[in-house]
Amino acid sequence: MATHNNRTMANRLVEKTQNLTPLGRQLVDYLMNNPKESIFLSARELAEKNKVSLATVVRFVRQLGYTSYRDFLKDMREQIDTRMPLPDRLEIHKNGSDLGQRIEREITAEIENLRDLKSHLDLELLELIADRIWEAPQVYAVGARMSLSISCYFSWALSRIRPQVTSLDGGNRNSLDWITLSPKNSLVIIFTVMRYPNDLLRLARLVQQQGRDLVVIADSQSCPLFQFTEHYLSVPCQNFPIVGSPSALGCVVNCIIYAMICNHNEEINKHQNILEQLYRENDIFFNPNDRGREIKTI
């Protein structure tokens, strides 16, 4: 899941056009002129639209360097999703009939994202990232816009099992100060999703320039932040969400936490005992046995 490809779909199509058959060039023309429609077509449907055989479509995607039509379609969807504005996303989601069907489609899409994660998650890479996070004396979890919710959740979950965790809003320029003044052996983990805020690009570049350890977790293999680190994890989203698709990224956060729990149980127990004492002494959580008792204030 961590293969990084800097070449865009459009570049790949243009580069290969001169070596294609006339039918292959016909497919290129159709894809370039109808990108938003093409991403929803099966290989058979693409063949029917262009009045060519299914075998022609299969040969075509192989000539482009893909092992399967599924890989080709995933790459094409990622390239379009990166550039798709909000009105176009809304237009896609207007398709369908009543609210029930649309909600069912949305839930099904999230389930498919989780199934894809289960099938393709690189456990060795996940454990490597978990080890780097655990070993870092100071961890900064960063997100911006939609991904801020994921980074905040990660920061909260990580602070339940280890100290020295700081959550930063990458859309706030103060985060640049935090990274610049951070300890030399700090680790910064950036969560980002499609359309990729420029604030996070600037921050990732700064982390690299400052020589801090950087981990990037994104929802696409074409994420531009991957160029700033050797340690990144791609968690592809298979649909076109209106505002975001948090299920797979949230699940990856849990998996990273579980990996650390499995390998560092004794140290985590000590940390959590300290937290539990704090909770009891300051009456942090509701206790059904204390109904009617006045709640302490700090």
Digit-coded pLDDT (tens) for 109-168: 889 889 989 998 999 999 999 999 999 999 999 999 999 999 999 999 999 999 999 999
Helix crossing, 22-33 with 9-17: angle to 10°? Answer: 150
User: What's the CATH number where 65 sits?
Assistant: 1.10.10.10
254 and 193 share a domain?
yes
Q: Contact, 180 vs 210, CB < 8 A? A: yes
Give tens-digit pLDDT for 158-199.
Answer: 999 999 999 999 999 999 999 999 999 999 999 999 889 999
* Same-domain pairing of 141 and 72: no
Token pair in block for residue 25: 């060039």
Taking a C-beta distance cutoff of 8 angstroms, is the pair 210, 188 a contact? no
Domain boundary among 83, 98, 133: 83
Range of the domain at 43: 1-83
Total of domains in the chain: 2
Contact in structure between 210 and 203 (CB atoms under 8 Å): no
How many angstroms separate the CA atoms of 172 and 202, rounded? 12
109 assigned to some structural domain: no
Residue 162 and residue 142: Cα distance in Å, rounded? 17
pTM over 0.85, yes/no: no
Q: Is residue 240 part of a domain?
A: yes
Burial of 161 (0-12, 13-18, 19+ CB in 10 A): buried
Query: Tokens representing 5?
Result: 């490809």
- Tell me the range of 58-72, 129-143, 281-295 where mean pLDDT is highest: 129-143
Percent of the chain's residues with pLDDT above 90: 52
